[in-house]
Amino acid sequence: MSWFGKILGGTIGLVIGGGPLGAVAGAAIGHHLFDKEPQEAGAARQGSTRRAWAFQEDPFPGAQARHREERRREDRHREERQAAFFLALFSILGKLAKADGRITREQGEAVVSFLDRMGVTGQQRAFAIRVFNEAKNSPYSVEEFARQFAQCTRNQPDLRASLIDMLFETALANKEFHPEEEKIIASVASVLGVSAGELRAIKDKHLGGADYAFSVLGLTPEASDEELRQTYRQLVQEYHPDRIVAQGMPQEFVEYASERFREIQEAWNVIKRERRL
């Protein structure tokens, strides 16, 4: 993750732009750098300084310079999305895990499972755990974290829905669904603009609703054949792996989007058999 190198170098503001997520990341990286060997920490800062200096150099005039600037802007936006997803996920998970007053062993294991599935190791893994711990004890509300995440993920409903999916998985890790956890997830979904239908679909996926295949598409069994077809086509387009990769999404989201794409396909096959479409 290229954005992580900038955070290590102390340039979090260049990536996420401050706010609640930036504050939590700053606190977490402060501990992270303090725990590192002085020489290693200094090297990280020096590397960042060299990158920042190189960023300001622009030896190409005219069209070439504009092209380089466009590429830099695209890279910054991609890094912003990646950092926002990573920081928001572990910040909100921290608040959610503490919602019923305690963090259970199963919920802790669920967070570790996310790290494993994302392939997060070494310094990034230690940083994620520190973000989780800093956020759960921070004065910021879960809505504040969600609002900043929403600002960084405009016009990306798939990224937002995946965050909600992960929250359900963590909340239900201990086989219980505390009312306060449900309240937090609903609040985050509202801030992110996740529709009631999609929220119900994600919830049914984890709780095993009777009309699961329809809920995966965010619809009910009363939906018309045409509505089912249109919704299916729209979701396939949103979550197609090639599109996600082309958008420069973080690898952890690519994996979740691919899983969501598979679920949509499976649900559609069930509905086609039932409706004889």
**Contacts of 58-62 spanning 24+ positions with Cβ under 8 A:** none
267 lies in a domain? Answer: no
Structure tokens at 86: 């990573």
pLDDT at 188: 94
| 153 or 133, higher pLDDT | 133
Q: Which of 61-75, 79-93, 241-255 has the highest mean pLDDT?
A: 79-93
pLDDT at 76: 67
Cα–Cα distance, 4 to 69 (Å, whole number) = 21
pLDDT of residue 43 exceeding 50, the answer is no
pLDDT at 140: 92
105 to 88, 112, 178: CA distances (angstroms): 22, 11, 15
pLDDT at 251: 72
Please report the sign of the dihedral spanned by the C-alpha atoms of residue 242, residue 243, residue 245, residue 251: negative
pLDDT at 3: 60
Cα–Cα distance, 62 to 201 (Å, whole number) = 51
274 lies in a domain? Answer: no
Q: Which domain holds residue 14?
A: 2-154
| Biggest distance spanned by C-alpha atoms of the chain | 67
Please compute the mean of the pLDDT values over residues 255-265 and round it to a whole number: 83
Cα–Cα distance, 7 to 23 (Å, whole number) = 12
pLDDT at 169: 86
What is the band of 34 on the pLDDT scale with cuts at 50, 70, 90?
very low
201 lies in a domain? Answer: no
234 lies in a domain? Answer: no
* Alpha-helical segments (H) within the chain: 2-8, 12-15, 19-35, 38-56, 62-97, 105-118, 122-136, 142-152, 157-171, 179-192, 196-207, 212-216, 225-239, 241-246, 251-275
23 lies in a domain? Answer: yes
Cα–Cα distance, 250 to 252 (Å, whole number) = 5
13 lies in a domain? Answer: yes
From 63, 130, 120, select the one nearest 90 (Cα to Cα): 130
pLDDT at 16: 59
What is the band of 173 on the pLDDT scale with cuts at 50, 70, 90?
confident
Average pLDDT, the chain: 77
With a pLDDT cut of 90, the percent of the chain lying above it is 12
Instruction: Provide the number of structural domains found in the chain.
Output: 1
pLDDT at 141: 92
57 lies in a domain? Answer: yes
pLDDT at 146: 92
pLDDT of residue 90 exceeding 80, the answer is yes
Angle at alpha carbon of residue 84, lines to 133 and 90, rounded to 5° = 25
Structure tokens at 144: 């504040």
pLDDT at 144: 92
| 10 or 82, higher pLDDT | 82
89 lies in a domain? Answer: yes
What is the band of 187 on the pLDDT scale with cuts at 50, 70, 90?
very high
Please report the sign of the dihedral spanned by the C-alpha atoms of residue 246, residue 252, residue 258, residue 263: negative
pLDDT of residue 62 exceeding 50, the answer is yes
pLDDT of residue 184 exceeding 90, the answer is yes
pLDDT at 159: 79
